[in-house]
Amino acid sequence: MLRLLFWIALIAAAIWLWRKFKGTSAAPNSPREQDAPPMVRCAHCGVHLPRDRALALEQQWYCSQAHLEQGPGTRDR
């Protein structure tokens, strides 16, 4: 029984080390947060979308022409 627990612990440690070192090498290839486009919130429904896809009216952003025409939504969320 003790041998079985020893092997289980050894295998778990090996898997943990493998995942730890595998994750560090993949991090530099992942997209950085600075590369992401700035996000804005729709004044009507509250959904977040990239600023280059949003419609602006005065100092508010909208996700679609319909929400732009309806104006700001309620603030009870």
Tens digits of residue pLDDT in 8-31: 999 999 999 999 888 765 455 556
pLDDT of residue 30: 58
Reported pTM: 0.53
Average pLDDT, the chain: 85
Cα–Cα nearest to 57, from 42, 35, 46:
42
Establish how many alpha carbons lie within 13 A of residue 36's alpha carbon, considering only the half-sphere containing its beta carbon. 9
Task: With cut-offs at 50, 70 and 90, classify the pLDDT of residue 53.
Answer: very high
* Sign of the alpha-carbon dihedral angle for 30, 32, 38, 42: positive
